[in-house]
């Protein structure tokens, strides 16, 4: 039996951190089925070379894989004709409707909040990220519009995923993030649909032990900085979830620590929360931990708990010890030194 894993470093530090995830998985030996890696192309650099950001071959190979790891893409901030972000496209093509981002404080340090242990569950397929934008000329000069799509189906399945995750955690507490005081139709639908999940016939009372709270997104950011310990699982529409999870990453020291998975019913793709970090790309100092933890999270999602635990434990030890850290965590170590240190412990 093998575990087929697609590897898509894409751009920038993706090329430095995805190999870290690979060696961490290889170090697990017989705790997982024998891994079979497939190196796949995507990204903005690829687009500039070939005119294609996400080759059909990459998508087709992924469909044959059990899971995948994605690095990061360097999406330009201005419109580039013919280019569209491959990660956004992949989430849609593989129907990876949930982005799950656990944020955990490990080492107590001055710029870290202690005892943070939360998961942001972000809807991954709609909201403003349907990217239906339009520019017209009106009486006020140029007018730009964007469609924000919230559906009952997507809200229900992300809600179910969030309840499922909450149920598996000690505190079993779910906070629904929205702004339905202003956007009563779109965010209202999200809020109501998630709230109604426990009463679905198909669920049959399964989530009765989960306590539910809700919070407007702006005050949620405030409370996230003031008292992040109140949160356990947070579920949010796409854009709010994107912003909240980067903000939550700041609580625990660095974006270079925070993993995620994009999950659907049939496929899971690990992805560090950070981007391609052009400011440090190529210098060999990117923190590989977010990527290694994304591998662990991916394995955990597939049920390989023991392998996932071994990676997480090794990473936690290295961070807690504080001797081998990259510059984003105040250290002077290189990416490779951190990788070696973690792999040694696995
Ligand atoms: P970024 O996450 O790439 O970088 C933000 C800051 O964090 C930078 O100072 C960077 O050096 C640092 N950082 C990030 N990851 C790190 C790591 N592993 N180790 C050490 N330091 C790390 O976000 P930014 O600068 O806003 O975006 C850069 C590019 O990445 C953009 O083109 C953006 O579109 C893309 N991006 C892609 C994402 C994805 O592929 N899912 C997510 C976010 C941004
Ligand atoms: Mg983001």
Q: Which DSSP category does 228 fall into?
A: G
ipTM exceeding 0.90?
A: yes
Q: Tell me which of 265 and 342 has the higher pLDDT.
A: 342
Taking each continuous run of H as one helix and of E as one strand, the counts in the chain are 11, 12
**What was the pLDDT predicted at 108?**
59
Q: How far is the CA of 261 from the centre of ligand 2 (A)?
A: 13
293-314 tens-digit pLDDT? 999 999 999 999 999 999 999 9
126-141 tens-digit pLDDT? 999 988 999 999 999 9
Residue 330 included in any domain: yes
Residue 81 included in any domain: yes
8-45 tens-digit pLDDT? 999 999 999 999 999 999 999 999 999 999 999 999 99
Residue 71 included in any domain: yes
Atom number of ligand 1 nearest to Cα 76: 32
Give the number of domains in the chain. 1
Residue 104 scores a pLDDT above 70: yes
Q: Is the CB of residue 53 less than 8 Å from the CB of residue 82?
A: no
Task: Tell me if 325 CB under 6 Å of ligand 1.
Answer: no
Residue 12 included in any domain: yes
Q: Out of 111, 209, 218, 265, which one is annotated catalytic?
A: 218
Q: How far is the CA of 147 from the centre of ligand 2 (A)?
A: 20
Task: Tell me if 255 CB under 6 Å of ligand 1.
Answer: yes
Residue 111 scores a pLDDT above 70: no
| Confidence bin at 79 (pLDDT 50/70/90) | confident
Residue 115 included in any domain: no
Q: What is the DSSP string of 38-105?
A: EE---SHHHHHHHS-SS-HHHHHHHHHSSEEEEEE----SS--TT---HHHHHHHHTT--EEEEEEE-
Domain of residue 13, residue span = 1-99+274-346
Task: Tell me if 286 CB under 6 Å of ligand 1.
Answer: yes
Q: Whose CA is nearest to atom 31 of ligand 1?
A: 74
The CATH code of the domain that includes 287 is 3.40.718.10
Residue 113 included in any domain: no
Considering the entire predicted model, what is its pTM?
0.91
Task: Tell me if 287 CB under 6 Å of ligand 1.
Answer: yes
Q: Which residue from 266, 275, 313, 277 is spatially nearest to 293, judged by alpha carbons?
A: 313
**What was the pLDDT predicted at 6?**
98
Q: Which residue from 62, 119, 152, 97 is spatially nearest to 248, judged by alpha carbons?
A: 119
Q: How far is the CA of 195 from the centre of ligand 1 (A)?
A: 34
Residue 69 included in any domain: yes
Q: Whose CA is nearest to atom 11 of ligand 1?
A: 277
Atom number of ligand 1 nearest to Cα 272: 41
Q: How far is the CA of 277 from the centre of ligand 1 (A)?
A: 4
Residue 246 scores a pLDDT above 90: no
Active site residue 344: no
Task: Tell me if 289 CB under 6 Å of ligand 1.
Answer: no
Q: How far is the CA of 35 from the centre of ligand 2 (A)?
A: 29
Q: Is the CB of residue 158 less than 8 Å from the CB of residue 265?
A: no
| Confidence bin at 107 (pLDDT 50/70/90) | low
191-233 tens-digit pLDDT? 999 999 999 999 899 999 999 999 999 999 999 999 999 999 9
**What was the pLDDT predicted at 77?**
86
Residue 147 included in any domain: no
């Amino acid at each position: 039996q093998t575990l087929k894993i697609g590897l898509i470093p894409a751009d920038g530090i993706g090329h430095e951190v995805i190999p870290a995830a690979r060696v961490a998985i290889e170090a697990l030996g017989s705790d997982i089925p024998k891994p079979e890696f497939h190196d796949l192309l995507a990204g903005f650099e690829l687009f500039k070379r070939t005119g294609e950001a996400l080759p059909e071959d990459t998508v087709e190979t992924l469909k044959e894989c059990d899971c995948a790891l994605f690095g990061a893409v360097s999406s330009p901030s201005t419109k580039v004709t013919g280019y569209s972000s491959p990660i956004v496209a992949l989430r849609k093509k593989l129907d990876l409707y949930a982005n799950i981002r656990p944020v955990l404080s490990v080492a107590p340090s001055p710029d870290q909040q202690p005892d943070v242990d939360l998961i942001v569950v972000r809807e991954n397929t709609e909201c403003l990220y349907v990217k239906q934008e339009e520019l017209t000329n009106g009486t006020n000069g140029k007018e730009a519009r964007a469609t924000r799509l919230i559906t009952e189906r997507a809200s229900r399945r992300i809600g179910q995923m969030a309840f499922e995750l909450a149920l598996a955690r000690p505190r079993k507490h779910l906070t629904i993030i929205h702004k339905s005081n202003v956007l009563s139709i779109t965010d209202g639908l999200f809020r109501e649909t998630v709230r109604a999940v426990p009463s679905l016939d198909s669920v049959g009372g399964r989530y009765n032990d989960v306590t539910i709270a809700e919070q407007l997104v702006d005050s949620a950011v405030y409370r996230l900085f003031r008292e992040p310990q109140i949160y356990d699982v947070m579920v949010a529409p796409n854009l709010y979830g994107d912003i909240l999870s980067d903000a939550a990453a700041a609580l625990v020291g660095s974006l270079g620590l925070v993993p995620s998975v994009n999950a659907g019913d049939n496929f899971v793709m690990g992805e560090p929360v950070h981007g391609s970090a052009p400011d440090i790309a190529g210098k060999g100092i990117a923190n590989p931990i977010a990527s290694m933890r994304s591998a662990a999270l991916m394995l955990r999602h597939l049920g390989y708990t023991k392998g996932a635990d071994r990676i997480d434990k090794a990473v936690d030890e290295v961070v807690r010890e504080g001797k081998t850290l990259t510059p984003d965590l105040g250290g002077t170590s290189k990416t490779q030194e951190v990788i070696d240190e973690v792999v040694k412990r696995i």
